[in-house]
Amino acid sequence: MRSSELKTLKTTLKNRAEESVLALAERNQIAVERSADVFDATLLAAERENSARELERDSRLLRQVEAARKRMLHGKFGICLRCEEDIAPKRLRAIPWTAHCVSCQEEAEQRSTFAPGMLRAA
């Protein structure tokens, strides 16, 4: 990968990390509100659940972005963590924090879709 492409991806990762930190700071204020009305209480619980899911998603993304930035510093950026082959530049431009090539990512997703002991549809 060319130096100019790496520099662009480095900037992209830095910006994404900053955005994630801001989003986490805003969502870090999940309040537990109570309501005597059952309908309102259900809505508030659903809002808290949604906020918690978004918080987890943003936290996971920030960890992935920071890990990619570390790989850049150590000269391991763009190399699949599983098979150690180069990750396609097109994939890195689309998802700069990716840690796996398409093949390894698909395989991991396939394994997580079908847990051991689950029956596959015929």
* Domain range summary for the chain, segments of one domain joined by +: 3-113
pLDDT at residue 122, rounded to an integer: 33
Q: Which two tokens stand for residue 121?
A: 């549809």
Phi, psi at 79, each rounded to 5°: -115, 125
For the 3-113 domain, the top CATH level (class) is mainly alpha
Query: Which of the pair, 42 or 88, is modelled with greater confidence?
Result: 88
- As a whole number of angstroms, the distance between CA 94 and CA 110 comes to 21
Burial of 37 (0-12, 13-18, 19+ CB in 10 A): exposed
**Cα dihedral sign, 107-112-113-118:** positive
Report pLDDT digits (tens) over 25-75.
776 566 566 767 888 878 888 888 888 888 899 999 999 999 999 999 999
pLDDT at residue 120, rounded to an integer: 42
Over the chain, what is the mean pLDDT?
85
Whole-structure pTM value: 0.74
